[in-house]
Structure 1
Amino acid sequence: MEKLTGTLALAIAERDGKSVPANTYFQGALKVMRPQYLDDSGQVVYFILNPGGGYVGGDVYKIDVTLADNAELLLTTQSATKVYETPNNEVRQETEITLGKNSLLEFISDPVIAYEKARYVQQQVVHMDKTASLFYSEMITPGWAREQDGFRYEQLLLKNQVYMDGKLAVIDAFRLTPADGVLHDIGMLESFSHVGSLLVVTPSIDETFVHDFQEVLKQEFADLRFGISLLNVYGFSARILANSTQELEQFIDFCHRYVRQHCFEKSPLLLRKY
């Protein structure tokens, strides 16, 4: 049995219109802050912490999140995930998410910052009921390198799979290997240095919603390169290219606010982290 650097298990239940922790367990270099309620909707908010300050070679992290029927959780990180040099073994993080009927998970991740000679593999599997809703975001930014060009990490692989009612509905894999020499080619990062991804699955999204939302984004973010794809199930995925973390954060925050208002019927939340 492999040794885990950090493990986190979080189960949320719904009681009398309020989402509450049913089980919370963490060990090693992962933990969560106390539950918070930032509005009167009953949705619970948790911040994930890494007391170790960063990921190093050979680290293995496992996260398990379960939402019971009608439970609502906003899960976010307290700071960026810093992946340092991994001379021998890659860093791996595996996340498994289970969403019950009419549940809602909003998972807002801070950037993954990959430093020189870093190798990082992130795998996430979501099992959700067809009535559940998911908003998930992730960002990748280049970390410090001796040559100061920001692209000296060895490999980043981020893979997401979504199963709906037991059937594979969405698979999205994103792999960056600067040594291949194609990082700035068309279809990759091109002239940009930062990349973000969104995955939104909820019954209220259809082709009309995605078309209208895309037009709104074109007006708001004319200087960014982004694309939105309608999923085979109700929802969409998006990829965003930018040249700063702030640009990505602004784009994702705008999308989060828009989806919360138009799909989840919730007011915007201000997540104070700094």
Structure 2
Amino acid sequence: MDLAEIGERVDDSPDPLSPARYTAEWLPSQIARYASAVDMLPVGSPGKVGVLDLAFERIGGRTELTAHYQKAPLHITRTLYGDPGRPDMPSVMFLSSSGGVVQGDRYRIDVTCGAGSSVHLSTPAATRVYRMEQDYASQLVNFSVGRGAYLEYLPGHTIPYVNSRYYQRIGVTVDPEATVVLGETVMGGRLARGELHAYDAYCSDLEVRGTDGQLICCDPMRLAPPERPVTGPAVLAGFGVVASLYVVTGARPAQELAGAMHDALTGTGLRAGAGVLPGERGAWARILGDRSPEVTAAMHLTWDVVRRLLIGVPAPERRV
């Protein structure tokens, strides 16, 4: 076995590195137009395909990591139980040994949360998407969240550099009695260097479905400055940072949750707001700002309000 591969896979498909697993079934046109062969470390080469496959179960009063497969450059920290308000809930960070995302990279992450489990997932730093001359990079993330489970996925910022092309798809399957809290923050580039929306394309798709396959909500983002300005009033309106927080839950009324999130954001002074998800399956918020620190603080404040309402404990301090 490759030394970069450890653990036991969650599913039983024969080849975890099959191109069918790490290749998106569909690409937005803004990304697909750049698809091409890479003559330096082509797609599928060692170090170009990262895989994480994790499973969590509630055992003996706390959640444990019960299955773990990883393929470099993706890997994880060991499970840490450092949340004073929820000592039963592990925190796991997704890491990359590559230092950033480059052309031809293909990442896939699968996480299964068993009934009654609780887990916090994050990254230790921003994801840097480097300049590309050929092709694009992508990351596919899939969450399966069982009955009574509680999942938080709050990664650090994504920073697309000049001429980068990046596609991310997050697919969630959630039980009606489970809760999922998802965050995404995108910077318009290396703002301190004056790089504002100098990337070729940043596209993302969030799709949340119930265990019956019915669509709960979806949120596509298409940013392609060379094709169409992204600084208009209906897009980013000149701001350099955009953050979104999605809360899929039946634990509290959607209107109550959205109202609390909106009230928290009103005091930040940022361009932000919150609303109810379709079918009142939860709430979501979006935040626009000029600088990363102020948007990060607003996201943390909103996450804190959500936590206090749903699980009765504050949000711990984060390093990202």
Q: Same fold (TM over 0.5)?
A: yes
Question: Which residue does 1:13 correspond to in 2?
Answer: 57
- 2:65 partner SS: strand
2:294 paired residue among 218, 242, 247 = 247
Are 1:139 and 2:185 matched, yes or no? yes
Q: How does 1:249-264 map to 2 (within 5 A)?
A: 249-264=296-311
2:257 paired residue among 195, 209, 221 = 209
Task: Measure how far apart 1:181 and its partner are.
Answer: 4.1
- 1:262 partner SS: helix
Task: Measure how far apart 1:125 and its partner are.
Answer: 0.4
**What is the aligned-residue identity percentage?**
26
Contact 1:205 1:263 in 2 (8 A): no
In structure 2, do the counterparts of structure 1 residues 262 and 144 end up closer, same or farther at CA, with 3 Å as the change threshold? closer
Are 1:35 and 2:79 matched, yes or no? yes
TM-score (norm 2): 0.81
Question: Which residue does 2:164 correspond to in 1?
Answer: 118
Question: Which residue does 2:224 correspond to in 1?
Answer: 177
Runs of 4+ residues deviating >3 angstroms: none
Amino acid at match of 2:100: G
Question: Which residue does 1:69 correspond to in 2?
Answer: 115
In structure 2, do the counterparts of structure 1 residues 112 and 212 end up closer, same or farther at CA, with 3 Å as the change threshold? closer
2:273 paired residue among 208, 227, 230 = 227
Task: Measure how far apart 1:207 and its partner are.
Answer: 1.4
Task: Measure how far apart 1:158 and its partner are.
Answer: 1.0
Question: Which residue does 2:128 correspond to in 1?
Answer: 82
In structure 2, do the counterparts of structure 1 residues 212 and 18 end up closer, same or farther at CA, with 3 Å as the change threshold? closer
Task: Measure how far apart 1:180 and its partner are.
Answer: 3.0
Structure 2 regions of 5+ residues with no counterpart? Answer: 1-17, 20-43
- 2:311 partner SS: coil
CA distance in 2 between counterparts of 1:272 and 1:111 reads: 12
Structure 1 regions of 5+ residues with no counterpart? Answer: none
- 1:271 partner SS: coil
2:174 paired residue among 124, 128, 134 = 128
Contact 2:258 2:284 in 1 (8 A): no
Task: Measure how far apart 1:176 and its partner are.
Answer: 0.7
TM-score (norm 1): 0.94
- 1:250 partner SS: helix
RMSD between superposed Cα atoms in Å: 1.6
Task: Measure how far apart 1:215 and its partner are.
Answer: 2.6
- Which moves more between the two structures, 239-248 or 52-61? 239-248
CA distance in 2 between counterparts of 1:193 and 1:70 reads: 39
1:76-121 deviation line (CA, Å, top 9, x unaligned): 0011110011221110000110000000100011000000100000
